[in-house]
């Protein structure tokens, strides 16, 4: 039997704060393949997430197919907008949701991982990070600061993660991110510079695959996923309509399940995908292949 086997591997999944999104589904799929999981979580969301875990509120979601539970070796505070603490504005430094978390920068997380697990501690990096503070604004109405914030957190953060975690990754390691088809086609309502950020993420994936591949032996890919009505996506405001539209017009007339993205991510991070890097892999029920909406009947 050809199986995905990640036993003895450790994965960092950056961007998990609940059990509803693609990041959690990817963490669960990696755990199904026997990887150990550490998380990077946005500091303002950590208290709620840790409370949900402690009180067993997401135990049902954490159940694996063999009866085990999805466990997290560590949950690190991570605000991917900041490479180091020197970059953090004073108002955030003094925000009580941040002050109790110590060093929550990308470098701080990398330093904590090295301290906890040693110099070569990571086999998989999952970038499940996206934020556009003006995502509801058309591009024509987006401010410079809103645009740059979207690109910073949603795209450049992958560069920052690999800069700082690359030296901690073992030979043959893999990094994946999550993109969306707005990178290449117009999706009205997906604004605030987020479409530009996704285009940058896909371009960076190709270049990082070359540079990290030559320098560190790391594979870098991205998954272009269809819409999912997660809590984070609901902030866009039209996610339910998008899910319904994709279902109606995709070659496979079905709603996308988060675990389908998780399974592809586990494959891409496994030795079975050792020949794949620099790729954008579509997991959207085939919607990306359509030139016009599906014909009725």
Over residues 254-268, the pLDDT tens digits come to 999 999 999 999 999
Which of the following is catalytic: 76, 98, 180, 287? 180
Catalytic residue at 210? Answer: no
How would residue 233 be classed by pLDDT, with cut points 50, 70 and 90?
low
Whole-model pTM? 0.96
pLDDT at 99: 92
pLDDT at 239: 81
Domain boundaries, the chain: 10-285
pLDDT at 229: 78
Average pLDDT, rounded, for the chain? 95
Q: Residue 247 pLDDT more than 90? A: yes
Q: Locate 24 and state its tokens.
A: 């959690």
How would residue 297 be classed by pLDDT, with cut points 50, 70 and 90?
low
pLDDT at 232: 63
pLDDT at 13: 98
**216 vs 46: CA distance, rounded Å:** 32
Which of the following is catalytic: 98, 147, 156, 190? 190
pLDDT at 261: 98
Q: Residue 170 pLDDT more than 70? A: yes
How would residue 12 be classed by pLDDT, with cut points 50, 70 and 90?
very high
**Superfamily of structural domain 10-285:** NAD(P)-binding Rossmann-like Domain (3.40.50.720)
pLDDT at 50: 96
How would residue 296 be classed by pLDDT, with cut points 50, 70 and 90?
confident
**290 vs 226: CA distance, rounded Å:** 13
Q: Residue 158 pLDDT more than 90? A: yes
How would residue 231 be classed by pLDDT, with cut points 50, 70 and 90?
low
Catalytic residue at 180? Answer: yes
């Amino acid at each position: 039997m050809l199986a995905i086997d990640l036993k003895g591997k450790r994965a960092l999944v950056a961007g998990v704060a609940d059990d509803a999104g693609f990041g959690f589904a990817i963490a669960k799929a990696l755990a199904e393949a026997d990887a150990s999981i550490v998380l990077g979580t946005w500091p303002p969301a950590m208290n709620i997430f840790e409370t949900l875990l402690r009180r067993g509120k997401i135990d049902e979601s954490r159940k694996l197919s063999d009866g085990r539970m999805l466990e997290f070796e560590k949950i690190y505070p991570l605000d991917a907008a900041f490479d180091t603490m020197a970059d953090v504005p004073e108002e955030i430094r003094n925000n009580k949701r941040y002050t109790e978390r110590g060093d929550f920068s990308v470098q701080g997380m990398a330093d904590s991982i090295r301290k906890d697990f040693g110099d070569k501690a990571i086999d998989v990096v999952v970038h499940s990070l996206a934020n556009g503070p003006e995502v509801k604004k058309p591009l024509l109405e987006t401010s410079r600061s809103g645009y740059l914030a979207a690109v910073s957190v949603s795209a450049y953060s992958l560069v920052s993660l690999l800069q700082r975690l690359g030296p901690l990754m073992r030979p043959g390691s893999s990094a994946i991110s999550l993109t969306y088809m707005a990178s290449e086609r117009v999706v009205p309502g997906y604004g605030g510079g987020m479409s530009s950020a996704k285009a940058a993420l896909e371009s960076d994936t190709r270049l990082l695959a070359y540079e990290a591949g030559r320098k560190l032996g790391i594979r870098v890919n991205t998954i272009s996923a269809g819409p999912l009505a997660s809590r984070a996506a609901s902030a866009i405001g039209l996610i339910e309509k998008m899910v319904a539209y994709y279902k109606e017009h995709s070659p496979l007339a079905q709603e996308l399940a988060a675990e389908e993205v998780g399974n592809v991510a586990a494959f891409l991070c496994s030795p079975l995908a050792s020949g794949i890097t620099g790729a954008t892999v579509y997991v959207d029920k085939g919607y990306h292949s359509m030139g016009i909406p599906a014909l009725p009947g």
